[in-house]
Structure 1
Amino acid sequence: MSHPAPGRIVGRFLTSTVAVAALLSGVVGIANAVPHEVAQFAAGTEGLDPALAAAYTLAEQQAHAEGVELSITSGYRSHEQQEWLWQDGLATYGSPDEARRWVLPPAESTHVSGRAIDVGPQYGAAWLEANGNRWGLCRPFDNEYWHFELQTSPGGVCPPRLPDASFR
């Protein structure tokens, strides 16, 4: 199936249930704007903020249409999962300050609130970094090529990246 060029998908974008929900919840701020009957979210979006799930789904569809492999390697994490990662980071890096460069405690992690995704493979992440702003997706940290969050409105400019998560 062929897909139109990015600039020509606006009409379809605005009529898509998922896309409208993404616009409503991501731009206007209406919580839970995605209808429960939407079953077309990409794999790995369970537990994510509906706007992030919708934006990523659209981005993944476009990546695949362009022949780029892209998938979520980590999305929503429970408090317990993030605590385990935090404790592992402390053991691995030896101090909270050094661990915070790579992993945050549960109370601070955007994965726990469903507002972050990690993607792969690396070339897919590079594609998302170059194109993700079309759906509001941005890479917030210099040291994590795989980490993305909704940080702008669709088509907007991503904010400057931070060196790492400890700068939040």
Structure 2
Amino acid sequence: MLPGCFKSAGKPPEFSTKSTQQKQEISVDRSPSNTEESLGSVSQKAVVSPGEEPASVPALHSQKQLSFEGELALTPTAPSQKPLNSEQELTSVPALPPQKQLSFEQKLPPLPAAPPQGQPNPGGVYGQPPELLHTPPQVETHLGHFPYAENQRQNLVKVADFYGREEFLDRTAANAFFQMQADAKASGVDLTIISGFRSVPQQERLFSRQISKRGSREAAARLSAPPGHSEHHTGYAVDIGEGEDIDTFLKPEFESTKAYRWLAENAYRYGFELSFPQGNSQGVSYEPWHWRYVGSPEATAVFSPARLTY
């Protein structure tokens, strides 16, 4: 008999019919089952009279219950929380301070333009080198040719003998050419130097002969530069042929040789580029044999006005 239950031989207390016999019975049945065999069998009952607190019921020794999956879970469970919707979750994250955004032009430099077909560019990078991005002072041309000063003799070195005539180049251009010539030779291509440095008096004699052949200075200038306006004055320009193939020396047919094809693909690696490609803006005839060295800052500065006219 549990506390709160009455048992007397005398007249029972008068209660209403509805509440006299009304008792609450709390039953916890811990009988063995398939999922609870490890817990044993425990059965306890407690009867609570009306008005008594449920706390008077003896607490069970175990506060663990089996979930529907057969795993133990602690009770009482934590109160569930209302899930946040996606907008609430996003707005709950503190916003980052605004940052200055760079424009597309600021992030990426403009891509350089590819050179004309058959016109390699020094350094292995297409487009004008950085030092040419700023337009140099305007230089007046004469019959389509830019003026050039003679290189100093102490800067020149001998590079070849062409049919008994000694040929010279600026020292830096000579070193670059010798390396290019050796690499071409390893590929089965023979590069021959036909003409290198040329003084102003030498150029004057050549130009006079062209006038005699062509009939005018304007016609001569399409094939030869007037004195004081030849790239050969600089010591950075060189006329190239293939081996002993004299039939293509200083002729457009040189374009069909192995030497020209090799130069078109590789000369830029050594700082050389074609001076007068087809359709050049100077109006000079196409000269596939005429190459200039632009692999040093000094050489680049010398030819910068002409290179901007491509």
Structures share fold, TM-score greater than 0.5: yes
For 2:268, the equivalent position in structure 1 comes to 133
For 1:43, the equivalent position in structure 2 comes to 160
For 1:75, the equivalent position in structure 2 comes to 196
TM-score using structure 1 length: 0.62
* Cα distance in structure 1, aligned partners of 2:290 and 2:211: 20
Q: Secondary structure at the match of 2:228?
A: helix
- CA deviation map 1:97-148 (0-9, x unaligned): 2211111122011112212100002321332122100011001112001000
Contact map agreement 2:160 2:168 (CA 8 A) in 1: no
| Higher-RCO chain (CA-CA 8 Å, sequence separation at least 6) | 1
For 2:294, the equivalent position in structure 1 comes to 151
Contact map agreement 1:42 1:60 (CA 8 A) in 2: no
**Aligned CA-pair RMSD:** 3.3
The structure with the larger Rg is: 2
- CA deviation map 1:13-51 (0-9, x unaligned): xxxxxxxxxxxxxxxxxx99xx99xx9x75358531112
Equivalent position to 2:223, from 74, 97, 102: 102
For 2:208, the equivalent position in structure 1 comes to 87
Contact map agreement 1:126 1:145 (CA 8 A) in 2: no
Contact map agreement 1:70 1:119 (CA 8 A) in 2: yes
Gaps of 5+ in 2: 1-150, 243-253, 278-285, 297-303
* Cα distance in structure 2, aligned partners of 1:152 and 1:141: 17
Tell me which protein shows more helix as a share of its residues: 1
* Cα distance in structure 1, aligned partners of 2:231 and 2:184: 24
Q: Secondary structure at the match of 2:190?
A: coil
Of 120-129 and 47-56, deviating more is: 120-129
Contact map agreement 2:167 2:195 (CA 8 A) in 1: no
- Percent of aligned positions with the same letter in both sequences? 34
* Cα distance in structure 2, aligned partners of 1:61 and 1:43: 14
How many residue pairs align between the two structures?
A: 124
* Cα distance in structure 2, aligned partners of 1:51 and 1:138: 15
Equivalent position to 2:238, from 108, 114, 117: 117
* Cα distance in structure 1, aligned partners of 2:219 and 2:264: 25
Q: How much has 1:152 moved relative to structure 2? A: 5.1
For 2:101, the equivalent position in structure 1 comes to none
Q: Secondary structure at the match of 1:92?
A: helix
* Cα distance in structure 1, aligned partners of 2:294 and 2:260: 16
TM-score using structure 2 length: 0.35
Tell me which protein shows more strand as a share of its residues: 2
Partner amino acid for 1:58?
Q
* Cα distance in structure 1, aligned partners of 2:188 and 2:159: 16
Q: Secondary structure at the match of 2:264?
A: helix
Q: How much has 1:79 moved relative to structure 2? A: 2.2
For 2:5, the equivalent position in structure 1 comes to none
Q: Secondary structure at the match of 2:223?
A: coil
Whether 2:176 is the aligned partner of 1:55: answer: yes
